Each structure stands twice: as C-alpha cells, then as structure tokens.
Amino acid sequence: MRRRVCVPFAVVAVAGLSLLSTGCPKGPAVDPWASAGGRPKVLVSFAPLYCFAANVAGPDADVKCLLTTTGPHNEGDATPSQIELARGCDVFVINGLGLEDESDGIATKLQKVAANPKWNVLDLGGKIDVSWLRAVDPDEHAGHHHDGAHDPHVWLSIRCAKKMVGAVREELKRLDPAHADGYDQRAAAYLAKLDRLEAEGKALLAKKQERSIVSFHESLGYFAETYGLEVVGSIEVNPGQEPTDKTLKEIIEKCSSKKPPVRVIAVEPQYPTRSSATKVLEALRGQQIDAQFAEVDPLETCDEADLRPGLYEKVMQNNVRELARVLR
C-alpha cells in the first residue's frame, strides 16, 4: 500500500475569493448512482465503513465511499461530486461520535447542501454500547480534531466493528426487505471473518512480553484494547500539528521510566513527516533504549485504488504483524 498524505477538501479560489462548491458546475451533472438501478444506494463516509457495508451488501446494494485520500477529520466545503453522491443516496452511513457529525463536519455540511428529500443518516457510533466507548478528557483535548465526549476511532475495535456491521445489515434489510436473507448470510460470513481476525492477531502477539507502545496520534486506543496492548501516550494530539517540547519531554519520560521501557513508536503512513516521532526515538536511543518505529495504519484514509471490500482485514492484519515484528 502506498504512503498517503491527508489533504483538506478541495476549495476553488478565484481572484482571492473562496468559492463554495455548491456553485454551478459546467455542463449537466452526471448521476453517480446511474448504475444502481433499483438497488439501495448506500453512501459511506470513509474506508472502514465501506468495507463493512460492501461485505454485507454484496450484489444487492450499491455502496460508494465519500472520502478516500482525505480523512474524516479534515474540515472543508463539500465538492460538487460529493454533493451529487449525497443528493441521490438512500442512506448516508457515518461513524459518528463527533467525527463527521460535528457542527462543521462533512455530514452536517452535506445535509445542508445536498437537497436530498429522503435524507437518511445511519450513525454507527450511536449503535455501540456506551460502556464500550473510551471517554476523552475535555481539558486534555481542548482544540482536538473532534468534538465528542468519546474517542471516535471505534472501527479499530473488532467488537465495535461487529456491532457496526450488524447495524448496516439491519438498515439494508429495512431498505430492501426482499433481499433480507442475502444480507443476513453475508453479514454472518463477514462477522465470522472478523472473529478470526481478532483471534489470529491475539495469537500472533500472545508470547510478547512487551505490551506497551506510543502512538503517533490518539487513534489506537480501541485497537490496543482489542489485542491486549497499552498505549502509554500519543505524540500528536491533533494529526499534523507538532507537539510542544513539554509534551515530548513528558512522553520520553513515560517511556523511559516504565519497566521494561517502552520502545515501540507506532507511526502512520498518512503522515510521512515524523519529525516529532523521530525526536522521541532519538532521545530514547540516547538513553540506550533500543527504540523502534512500527507502521500502524488507523485506516482513516486510503488510496482509491486500494478501496476494496477486503481492505479492512488486510490493514488490520498488517498492523498486528508489524507490531509483532518489533515487540519482544
């Protein structure tokens, strides 16, 4: 998988002015759902949700992904093509928990401009048991990239992912009861795959004595819970925003003071510039700690060419294998 860089939504600038993407495009708009026919038209916000929906939908529904190389954390105006997708969909599937549904999030903006008379949002985060959610400290997360009271990265938890798959199944059965059996069967098969994904990952890490890592940004809490790991700190609270010297010093102290020391720094392919992570790595090595990078993809973005129903499984397997390679 190629490295990716998160970029903001497209904005057209003319004569120093920023034009809203709701302006009139040249020529007639092309219907992105033309090939769907009478099948349910399912729009999902980003890649993990595409995998969940596509595996349940099979040939009975048309599933399209709103965001690929741009992640759900990013702010910006919706593009004309995104508006056309939202205008024709039967359901817009979102993660929720303050990710796309915050006051300036893409789901809120699309609702205002899409003019979809049947606007229907399936909030998967809202289907998850509150006791499963990781609370965030509002004092420590002031100015963070999401507004919710809970960590929104629930797709990285296998048990949460299974709950999300179940919610997609029920929505598709509601929209298309004639194919309910097919949705049930495909959902059951995919849930079994997720069970195997969790079991295989745990087995791969079972003999590791080291169980603690540092994450690049605050995205791996649910992933760590799934596989019996601990995230002792995050280098960047907001992705792409360099931490203060004080924050770096605190992280280095946390890593070096633990017994055994925390050596593994999980970095992300979406952010190839790792100056802050490199500072932590070099500081730990300066204390004779054999610090190492492990590339762990939180799957907030993906290359369009990689968007396939099996992408979630592939990325999660790669993440566990990479950590297994480095942890002792």
Question: Is the Cβ–Cβ distance between 265 and 293 less than 8 Å?
Answer: yes
Residue type, 171: E
What is the rounded distance in angstroms from the CA atom of residue 106 to the CA atom of residue 145?
Answer: 13
Least confident of 100-109, 118-127, 221-230, 278-287: 100-109
Burial of 51 (0-12, 13-18, 19+ CB in 10 A): buried
Q: In terms of Cα–Cα distance, which of 111, 87, 69, 109 is closest to 33?
A: 87
Distance in angstroms (rounded) separating the CA atoms of residues 209 and 195: 24
Weakest-pLDDT range from 4-13, 178-187, 235-244: 4-13
pLDDT at 150: 95
Q: Is 24 a domain residue?
A: no
Asked if residue 86 lies in contact with residue 55, where contact means CB atoms within 8 angstroms, the answer is no
pLDDT of 140 higher than 90? no
Domain assignment of residue 244, given as a range: 206-326
Structural domain ending residue among the three candidates 149, 180, 199? 199
User: What dihedral angle (degrees, nearest 10) is formed by the CA atoms of 32, 97, 228, 2?
Assistant: 30
> Do 171 and 224 have their domain in common?
no
Q: What is the dihedral of CA 259, 264, 265, 267, to 10 degrees?
A: -160
Whether residues 190 and 213 fall in one domain: no
Type of residue numbered 59: P
Whether the predicted pLDDT of 261 surpasses 90 = yes
pLDDT at 296: 97
Q: What is the mean pLDDT of residues 118-134?
A: 97
pLDDT tens profile 302-315? 999 999 999 999 99
Same domain, 256 and 277: yes
Q: Is the pLDDT of residue 5 over 70?
A: no
Task: Check residue 28 and give its pLDDT.
Answer: 63
Q: Residue 7: inside a domain, yes or no?
A: no
Domain boundary (199, 227, 243) is at 199
- Asked if pLDDT for residue 143 goes beyond 70, the answer is no
| Residue 230 covered by a domain | yes
Residue 186 and residue 42 share a domain = yes
> Are the beta carbons of 44 and 299 closer than 8 angstroms?
no
Tell me whether residue 15 is in a domain. no
Write the burial class of residue 127 (CB in 10 Å: 0-12 exposed, 13-18 middle, 19+ buried): middle
**Same domain, residue pair 93 and 185:** yes
pLDDT digits (tens, 9 = 90+) for 227-238: 999 999 999 876
Domain shared by 169 and 212, yes or no: no
State yes or no: pLDDT of 31 exceeds 90: yes
- Whether 1 is in a domain gets the answer no
> 184 and 44, same structural domain?
yes
Can you tell me whether residue 72 is helix, strand or coil? coil
In a domain, 114, yes or no: yes
Is there a single domain that holds both residue 157 and residue 133? yes
Do 320 and 225 lie in one domain? The reply is yes
Tell me the torsion sign for CA atoms 80, 81, 86, 87: positive
Kindly state whether residue 195 falls inside one of the protein's structural domains.
Answer: yes
Q: Check which CATH number belongs to the domain holding 274 and give it.
A: 3.40.50.1980
Rounded Cα distance, 52 and 37, in Å: 22
User: What token pair was written down for 91?
Assistant: 């359901």
Please list, residue by residue across 257-266, b when 16 or more beta carbons sit within 10 angstroms of its beta carbon and e when fewer do.
eeeebbbbbb
Are 136 and 242 members of one domain?
A: no
User: Is residue 266 situated within a structural domain?
Assistant: yes
pLDDT the model gives residue 120: 97
Residue 150 DSSP one-character state: B
192 and 141 co-located in one domain: yes
Region 290-301: mean pLDDT is: 97
Q: Which of 175, 199, 223 is the last residue of a domain?
A: 199
Whether 168 and 238 share a structural domain = no
User: Who has greater pLDDT, 269 or 190?
Assistant: 190
Confidence of residue 13 (pLDDT cuts 50, 70, 90): very low
Average pLDDT over residues 184-192: 98
Is the model more confident about 49 or about 16?
49
Sheet containing strand 292-295, edge to edge, reads 230-236, 212-217, 264-267, 292-295
What tens digit of pLDDT does each residue of 50-103 get? 999 999 999 999 999 999 999 887 667 899 999 999 999 999 999 999 999 988
Contact status, residue 208 vs residue 327, Cβ threshold 8 Å: yes
Our count of domains for the chain comes to 2
pLDDT score, position 214:
97
Q: Hey, is 140 helix, strand or coil?
A: coil
DSSP secondary structure of 255-302: HHHSSSPP-EEEE-TT----HHHHHHHHHHHHTT---EEEE----S--
